[in-house]
Structure 1
Amino acid sequence: MKRFDLNLLYTLDAFAKAGSVKAAAEMLNLSAPAMSHALARLRDVTGDPLLVRAGRRLVPTPRAMTMIEEARDVVERASAILAPGIDDGRWSSAKREFAVIAPDELSTTYGARLLGAIRAKMPNATLSLRPAVSADADRLRQGAVDVEIGAIGKLPPEMRVEVLRKQQAVVVVHRSHELVRQRMTLTRYIKADHVCQAPHDGLDQLVERALAGAGVSRNSVLRVATSYAALAAASQSPLVATVQDSMVQAVAKNLGLVSVPFPLGLEPLHVGQVWHPRADLDPQHVWLRTCIRTVLGRR
């Protein structure tokens, strides 16, 4: 497909408005020779003289008259397309389904609250919370997913990331457990039977590294997929669970659980939201990120 220099339409439109080569050049911040050269290129492209002399003036040919009207429409439409966006608020009433990748425990604990926050300003919005199956940035790049929430690891350089909270590990047992009445020590911790999470869980990996650094290991008798499942197991047995403190704050009391500090110093786990820069200025996406920050973030 042959491509034309669309700047030539601006040249013709400026001449029609200014009435002379010199005035049109000033309008476009060009020199008079550059303007004359642009008009010459326009004549070559169209095969029409476009401007002919009538005394001391240049007047448009019939073909030029037709082109001037069409060029004006194209220039006005292009200017409207390229103008900075104006937030007229209409985005808030539009229908939209947000797709967010989040760990199961966040979906279980905060999903309904997040939807409520989103619909406070976007009443026609829906929310699809999807499990984290792999570290695949292509879903964000292609727009199939709006935001991914989780432990912040190595990311492609173009991705945007915002830290929402720093999670600490805490030890959780049922309120009837004998460890509730004792001071939690490393010896008592490793002698207990533990419910642990899937090996790929970020917090579980931190715990394992800390224990290995101390030259000890825990007795894992049950392994589950999520921290919420670990809490559920601990609520129905003498098993010990080690989970992020945010989960304890959200659900532990209702499950009859209590928490004590982890017996070793442990670096915090940074949890954040990740998105592609294509959505930086989308007002609906900005609102989604604001709601995620409000519901999941920690001041």
Structure 2
Amino acid sequence: MTVVQLDLNLLTALDALLEEGNVAGAAARLHLTAPAVSRSLARIRRTTGDQILVRTGRTMTPTPYALAVREQVHDLLRQVRDVLAPSRELDLATLERTFTLRWHDALVALSGPALLAAARAQAPGVRLRFIAESSIDTPELRRGEVDLAANADRPTAPEIHAERVAETRHVVVVRRGHPLTLIETITAARYAAAEHITVSRRGKLANLLDDALTRLDLTRIVVATAPTERAAYEFARDSDLVVTTPEATARSAADDLGLVLLPLPLDLPPAPVYLSWHQRYDTDPAHIWLRDLARNTLTSAMSGPAETAR
């Protein structure tokens, strides 16, 4: 008999028979009729080539083979139940797991430390691997090489699930004393006339800002691109270049580098943040726990007070 042909119900019946030592007791344990369990015993006997239980007077006695496999049968049945009905309880104190997170670099800087601290406080055995985003679309989420992504893009693949967890407005970032800081009201025309540096991992010189300016019959001057926001801020710190980025991720960098945040004079939709994961993790308790922590830290980090200055 092959594994495919084997009825796992026989394993349940055999476990009950060995525990109870008789058909009536096994039937009561399994909530079945005695004839049904007798038929199962007959099938077990044919499958194993052993009598399993033999009558001795008014009782039934397990055979040497039955006694030898009793614990093994019980363990096998427990393993089958663990596979087919895994526990939904999560013991964070004993959880040992490494999660790989592909987050936008600004989000790592903004809320990565808080996420790691929260995760380690609850589950000391958990490790977080933050990896850089690629300049091209990659299938790591689908292949299970990345557990959780966080960026401004909503995935389009149906097997990738996503949740919009936060959003923030765009702001203009310049050095202290920049000509734009001396203007009472920044107009779209004055904004466009400045020299700009864009943030693009792929080196794109244009983005949705240019679309908004085109609708106003304006064109900005883009003189450079930088692969990360932090790199763009370094350019702006020692020049008259203008950087336009999400406000939440610009706050801490502006404080560190002595930069100023100014209101953007364009009607631009807020920058969203999406958490994305493969559907295989939808019901994974550990992954659900991590998603909750990530959602909370990102929402908290991006909901700080809106501050712009001159």
- Indicate whether the TM-score tops 0.5: yes
Task: Name the SS for the 2:116 alignment partner.
Answer: helix
Q: Is the CA contact (8 Å cut-off) linking 2:103 and 2:149 kept in structure 1?
A: yes
Amino acid at match of 2:173: V
Amino acid at match of 1:91: T
Partner residue of 1:273?
275
Amino acid at match of 1:244: P
Q: Is the CA contact (8 Å cut-off) linking 2:201 and 2:228 kept in structure 1?
A: no
Partners of 2:287 and 2:21 lie apart in 1 by: 46
Amino acid at match of 2:23: V
Partner residue of 1:188?
190
Partner residue of 2:211?
209
After superposition, the Cα gap between the structure-2 partners of 1:67 and 1:152, relative to the gap in structure 1 and judged at 3 Å, is same
Q: Is the CA contact (8 Å cut-off) linking 2:100 and 2:147 kept in structure 1?
A: yes
Task: Name the SS for the 1:48 alignment partner.
Answer: coil
Partners of 2:70 and 2:112 lie apart in 1 by: 56
Partner residue of 1:130?
131
Kindly report the root-mean-square deviation, in angstroms, between the aligned alpha carbons of the 2 structures.
3.2
Task: Calculate the TM-score normalised by the size of structure 2.
Answer: 0.79
Q: Is the CA contact (8 Å cut-off) linking 2:50 and 2:65 kept in structure 1?
A: yes
Partners of 1:22 and 1:240 lie apart in 2 by: 84
What runs of 5+ residues in structure 2 fail to find an aligned partner? 304-310
Task: Name the SS for the 2:94 alignment partner.
Answer: helix
* Larger CA deviation: 207-216 vs 250-259: 207-216
Cα deviations across residues 234-285 of structure 1 (Å, max 9, x unaligned)? 2211111111111222221332322222222111222122223544566654
Partners of 1:23 and 1:8 lie apart in 2 by: 16
Partners of 1:68 and 1:7 lie apart in 2 by: 16
After superposition, the Cα gap between the structure-2 partners of 1:295 and 1:62, relative to the gap in structure 1 and judged at 3 Å, is closer
Partner residue of 2:233?
231
Q: Is the CA contact (8 Å cut-off) linking 1:109 and 1:251 kept in structure 2?
A: no
After superposition, the Cα gap between the structure-2 partners of 1:88 and 1:127, relative to the gap in structure 1 and judged at 3 Å, is closer
Partners of 1:168 and 1:59 lie apart in 2 by: 77
Q: Out of 172, 190, 198, which is 2:200 matched to?
A: 198
After superposition, the Cα gap between the structure-2 partners of 1:232 and 1:79, relative to the gap in structure 1 and judged at 3 Å, is same
Task: Name the SS for the 1:270 alignment partner.
Answer: strand
Q: Is the CA contact (8 Å cut-off) linking 1:101 and 1:149 kept in structure 2?
A: yes
Partner residue of 1:21?
23
Partner residue of 1:38?
40
* Larger CA deviation: 11-20 vs 62-71: 62-71
Once the two structures are superposed, the pairs formed by residues 76-225 of structure 1 within 5 Å of their partners are 76=78, 78-79=80-81, 82=85, 84-91=87-94, 94=96, 96-123=97-124, 125-133=126-134, 134-137=136-139, 139-182=140-183, 183-198=185-200, 205-225=207-227
What runs of 5+ residues in structure 1 fail to find an aligned partner? none
Cα deviations across residues 123-154 of structure 1 (Å, max 9, x unaligned)? 565443211114334x2344432321111322
Aligned positions, number: 295
Sequence identity of aligned pairs in percent? Answer: 36
Partner residue of 1:264?
266
* Larger CA deviation: 281-290 vs 205-214: 281-290
Task: Calculate the TM-score normalised by the size of structure 1.
Answer: 0.81
After superposition, the Cα gap between the structure-2 partners of 1:22 and 1:107, relative to the gap in structure 1 and judged at 3 Å, is same
Offset, 1:40:
2.4
Offset, 1:172:
1.9
Partners of 1:232 and 1:16 lie apart in 2 by: 74
Amino acid at match of 1:174: R
Partners of 2:288 and 2:42 lie apart in 1 by: 47
Partner residue of 2:2?
2
Q: Is the CA contact (8 Å cut-off) linking 2:90 and 2:286 kept in structure 1?
A: no
Offset, 1:292:
2.8
Task: Name the SS for the 1:267 alignment partner.
Answer: coil
Q: Is the CA contact (8 Å cut-off) linking 1:279 and 1:285 kept in structure 2?
A: yes
